[in-house]
Amino acid sequence: MGIDGSLALAPDRAPGDGPDPGSPGPERHDELRRSLTDWLRANLTPEVVAAGQAGMVSTETVEILRAWNRVLADAGWAAISWPAEYGGRDASVAEQLAFHEVMTGFKAPGPVNVIGVANVAPAIMAVGTAEQKDRYLAPMLRGDEIWCQGMSEPDSGSDLASLRTTALADGGEFVINGQKTWNSLGQYADWCQLYARTDPTAPKHKGISCLLVDMRSPGVEARPLRTMTGEAAFSELFFSDVRVPATALLGPIHEGWRVAMTTLSHERAGVARLHLGLTARFNDLLAEARQSGVEATSVERDRLAQLYAFISCMRWMTTRELEAVGRGGQPSPAMGSLAKLMWARATQELADLAVSLLGSGGLEGAWTSNFIAAPGVSIAGGTSDINRNIVAEHGLGLPR
């Protein structure tokens, strides 16, 4: 096998090519694909694509992506999984996957308010009051208000239930004190979905509540954290005697653990599409290696073939799961953790292989941040150790 095109992973197709015969599943949702393809051809600009590739790295790219978010929302493409009554399209997981395939093919960025749209909104829809739904969902969808999540603390990460930030009731308000860290988009956020201890005397999984906190409240400070990529993609947040009204409570008092589990369980489509970004980058790597006339060593060819097989397995595994769920089956208990584990491993191997194949070229442009950010993917959203524990206990039935 050489770097000769024979290895490109589908979907490596020009947008609008129509159905990909290699794509699995009976439901191709061609109408959705066609309509999104036409819309992207008419609306997506190179400036938006470039801002999407750069990420939330400067006020300038944030504003370009916010404007794009509004365009997406006005056309009904910002959150197709949301119910139509809130501005979505009631899309099934398979339709969401079709949507993401087309978006990835165009390198089109999704909504800037990714945490709000994908994580906070499902929790508000599930346990929020009518007033909270009216107040928060529309500006969230348009990216007019950006959200962050305040879970991790300096001494509380994997063991979220050990968090120490408090929110104590006082005269019809809550008074918040404590520190959060690693808050993605924290410095840009208008609102924070915050987890704090409302009953410090209760056992650790109990006595936590979820609060919707206005980041402009007196006593809130967001300090950007610059990582080795050079970007400040997240912040640490400090809360000093921050007063929020009782209406800030999301879900029942002291039931924040249940809200957190609801928030974290809405990631099935997100997990199912992890292979798409990998596929796009794998194909970019092959194209660049071909263009620069690289002569791959036999070891590199072997690694490429293994990675190709690995990403293909991810794709088939998640597709099989989606089809089973689509036919009314139960989701496999450890599927999310398994896909996240595989994604982290493949992302790191791809970044490493790019440097091996392209030499210094593998440390230029998008490959640079790809390489430097790769170690973080096995920490964010649950570490690989924690995910291995979940696969062992819930997938394989091994003892704790």
Footprint on this chain of ligand FAD (rule: CB under 6 A): 148-152, 157-158, 182-184, 234, 376, 379-380, 383, 385-386, 389
Looking at beta carbons only, is 27 or 155 nearer to ligand FAD? 155
Strand blocks (E) in the chain = 147-150, 166-170, 173-184, 191-197, 208-214, 220-225, 234-245, 249-250
Q: Angle CA(189)–CA(194)–CA(197) in degrees, nearest 5?
A: 155
Name the catalytic one among 131, 173, 267, 349. Answer: 267
The residue among 369, 390, 377 whose CA lies nearest residue 274 is 377
* Nearest distance, CB of residue 182 and ligand FAD, angstroms: 3
Looking at beta carbons only, is 184 or 217 nearer to ligand FAD? 184
Contact in structure between 181 and 174 (CB atoms under 8 Å): no
* Nearest distance, CB of residue 116 and ligand FAD, angstroms: 11
Compute the distance between CA of residue 215 and CA of residue 222 in angstroms, rounded to an integer.
Answer: 9
* Nearest distance, CB of residue 103 and ligand FAD, angstroms: 21
Contact in structure between 352 and 346 (CB atoms under 8 Å): no
* Nearest distance, CB of residue 192 and ligand FAD, angstroms: 9
* Nearest distance, CB of residue 204 and ligand FAD, angstroms: 14
DSSP line for 369-380: HHHHHGGGGGTT
Token output for 130:
């009518």
Looking at beta carbons only, is 87 or 251 nearer to ligand FAD? 251
Answer yes or no: 267 catalytic: yes
Contact in structure between 259 and 194 (CB atoms under 8 Å): no
Q: How many CB atoms lie within 10 A of CB 360?
A: 8
Q: How many CB atoms lie within 10 A of CB 65?
A: 21
Contact in structure between 163 and 202 (CB atoms under 8 Å): no
- Reported as type and span, the H/E element at residue 179 is strand 173-184
Looking at beta carbons only, is 11 or 251 nearer to ligand FAD? 251
Residue 388: left if φ>0, alpha if ψ -120 to 50, beta else—which one? alpha
Query: Computed from CA positions of residues 42, 43, 45, 51, in that sequence, does the dihedral angle turn out positive or negative?
Result: negative
Q: How many CB atoms lie within 10 A of CB 397?
A: 8
* Nearest distance, CB of residue 157 and ligand FAD, angstroms: 2
Contacting residues for 350 by C-beta, under 8 A, at least 6 apart: 278, 281, 282, 285, 307, 370, 374
- Reported as type and span, the H/E element at residue 192 is strand 191-197
Catalytic residues: 267
